[in-house]
């Protein structure tokens, strides 16, 4: 049997990922260690995401792996700097108005 796909080491548990219910068979993230424990250690330490080919029974649906990750760091930095400048402007306007009202 030949398997075609992209091999990845799975994912680490982040603080936003849910804790797995041991009695439940739904896997909400690629917990390779948890799956290996559930299969008595018979699992290789990697995840294979299927490539876009016809699979028997239709599953897994291939071609879903996102390889080109966007690099939006400049956009995020610009957003936060613009928000910071806006906050400074609002602060200055607020305090000038308070000084005019007190005078």
State pLDDT tens for residues 89-103: 999 999 999 888 886
* Domain range list for the chain: 1-68, 70-103
- What pLDDT score does 1 carry? 59
- What pLDDT score does 60 carry? 74
pLDDT along the chain (103 residues), means of 10: 74 75 74 78 78 77 75 93 98 92 77
Whether the pTM exceeds 0.75: the reply is no
- What pLDDT score does 18 carry? 78
Other beta carbons less than 10 A from residue 47's beta carbon: 18
């Amino acid at each position: 049997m030949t398997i075609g796909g992209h091999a990845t080491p799975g994912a680490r548990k982040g603080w936003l990922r849910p804790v797995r219910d041991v009695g439940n068979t739904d896997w909400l993230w690629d917990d390779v260690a948890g799956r290996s424990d559930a299969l008595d250690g018979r699992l290789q330490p990697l995840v294979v995401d299927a490539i876009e080919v016809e699979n028997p029974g239709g599953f897994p649906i291939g071609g879903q792996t996102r390889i080109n990750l966007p690099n939006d760091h400049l956009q995020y930095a610009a957003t936060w700097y613009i928000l910071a400048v806006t906050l400074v402007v609002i602060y200055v306007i607020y305090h000038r108005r308070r000084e005019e009202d007190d005078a």
